[in-house]
Amino acid sequence: MKKNIIWLILVQCSNYVFPLITLPYLLRVLGAHEYGIYTLMLAYTQYILLVVDYGFNFTATRLISKTNGSNSDIRKIFFTTLTAKIFLAFTACGLGSIIFLLMGVPPVFWKYGGFALLAALGNALYPLWLYQGIQRMAPISVSILTGKSIITAATFCFVKSEHDVGTAIFINSLTFLLPGIFLTIFAQMDVVRGFYRPTVSDVIEALKDGFPLFISTIATSFYTTFNIVLLGAYSTQTSVGSYGAADKVRVAAQGMFLPFTQAIFPRICVDSDRAGMRKRIIRYGIPFFSMGIAMTAFIYIFGKYISLIYFGKQNYVAATYFQKMAPLPMIVCMAIIFGQWYMIGRGFNKALSVIYVCGSLIHLLYVVPAVKFFGVLGVIYSVIATETLLTAAMIIFFITQEFKKQGRINK
């Protein structure tokens, strides 16, 4: 258990460290305009990966964990999930091409769009859910760390000027493809050891099982990844590049909270009664929220100066955007406390999904005009507004449930 946690922490750190190493280099070498194209293609790829993931990292993991080591059951789940994910990869890329055609995107995006399929296939082959289910994270972690080290080195070796944006996008796709191929072969020899031909009904059942989680993930993406796509439609590639760079650093900063949430969440779930859970949420929530306030204050006061050193003085706009994102860590901390710790901890998954879906739909109502009139600043303020709205809904749900317990609200 402890070894798996350590491996997961290493993987989580690598998810932020390696991109943060290459980000300032790519921004300087490619320039803001070409980096904007790079960011847009990554956003397009990310949407395809959301479709391919679908929710299998939860549903397939749960199924694997319930097999009790039965090789025949593992084999069936492995090939059924693999088939479903490959089907989703080609479907998502096909739909993405149709959307590109209808939107009339510039030819440069068609030039690099094929690399998204490579990333999608790599993600489809990647058996993270298998090793999570059998609780052996070492092979996954080693493959990720090795692959990202090689890809990072390749970025510095082969991306030398603004003309190498296609090379940068291709190298990014290899981050998914190479580990996916390697681990699929390794899993066959190490765990699966055989073949199962999934039926159509097997695949349909797997898709049905993951659909609710897929909807929640897509809803969340409408106020995260979709913002970059929207900027690409209504703003310049330079603006997209500046926003994308600032947002990457902001997400990396918030990633510092993840080890704490992973460690605290199981402790909160230990108490099945409301009173015990409430006490633990208060006990851990106050210092955790204090961390969020401290990070918000730090970004607001020092964010611009640190970003100028990190991005370079020529990317002053990106540093300014990062400073304006300062309220988000504090708000996200509150959402983690009342959303993940309380609502998921108490089993209110459907209610949380409703909050995210409704919040995403509301976000779409004002983010489009905000981008048209205010550009990147419109996106930033829209995201802050949406995160605040979602967090407020979670807090209201928490208060309502606690009052119900005390009989102050009639059921």
Q: Does 214 lie in the same domain as 113? A: yes
CB 171 within 8 A of CB 154: yes
pLDDT single digits (tens) 183-240: 899 999 888 888 899 999 999 999 988 887 787 777 777 777 778 878 877 887 788 8
Domain range enclosing 132: 2-221
Q: Does 93 lie in the same domain as 171? A: yes
Question: Is 234 part of any domain?
Answer: no
Q: How many CB atoms lie within 10 A of CB 255?
A: 15
CB 84 within 8 A of CB 56: yes
- Residue 272's identity, in one-letter code, is S
Question: Is 298 part of any domain?
Answer: yes
pLDDT single digits (tens) 112-138: 878 888 888 998 998 888 887 777 777
- Dihedral angle of Cα 385, 386, 388, 390, to the nearest 10 degrees: 160
Overall domain count for the chain: 2
Question: Is 362 part of any domain?
Answer: yes
**Domain termination residue (choose one: 205, 221, 237):** 221
Q: Does 305 lie in the same domain as 179? A: no
CB 252 within 8 A of CB 20: yes
Which pLDDT does position 200 carry in this prediction? Answer: 93
Q: Does 285 lie in the same domain as 143? A: no
Q: Does 201 lie in the same domain as 254? A: no
Q: Does 171 lie in the same domain as 260? A: no
Question: Is 232 part of any domain?
Answer: no
Q: Does 398 lie in the same domain as 293? A: yes
- Crossing angle for the helix pair 71-103 and 107-125, nearest 10 degrees? 170
Q: Does 115 lie in the same domain as 12? A: yes
Q: How far is residue 241's CA from residue 41's CA, in Å, rounded to a whole number?
A: 11
Residue closest to 243 by CA, chosen among 232, 252, 254, 256 = 232
Q: Does 174 lie in the same domain as 270? A: no
Query: What are the strands, taking DSSP E only, across 97-232?
Result: none
Question: Is 149 part of any domain?
Answer: yes
Question: Is 238 part of any domain?
Answer: no
Q: Does 367 lie in the same domain as 253? A: yes
**Domain termination residue (choose one: 178, 204, 221):** 221
Residue 68 class from Cβ within 10 Å (0-12 exposed, 13-18 middle, 19+ buried)? exposed
Question: Is 32 part of any domain?
Answer: yes
Kindly give the parts of the chain with pLDDT less than 70.
1-5, 8-9, 12, 15-16, 103-105, 108, 259, 262-263, 265-267, 269-274, 405-411
pTM of the model: 0.67
Q: How far is residue 121's CA from residue 176's CA, in Å, rounded to a whole number?
A: 8
Which pLDDT does position 254 carry in this prediction? Answer: 82
Q: Does 260 lie in the same domain as 199? A: no
Which pLDDT does position 271 carry in this prediction? Answer: 58
Question: Is 228 part of any domain?
Answer: no
Q: Does 321 lie in the same domain as 215? A: no
**Domain termination residue (choose one: 163, 186, 221):** 221
Cβ partners under 8 Å of residue 67, min gap 6: 73, 74, 77, 133
3-state secondary structure 116-167: HHHHHHHHHHCCHHHHHHCCCCHHHHHHHHHHHHHHHHHHHHHCCCHHHHHH
Q: Which run of H or of E encompasses 45?
A: helix 2-53
Q: How far is residue 11's CA from residue 5's CA, in Å, rounded to a whole number?
A: 10
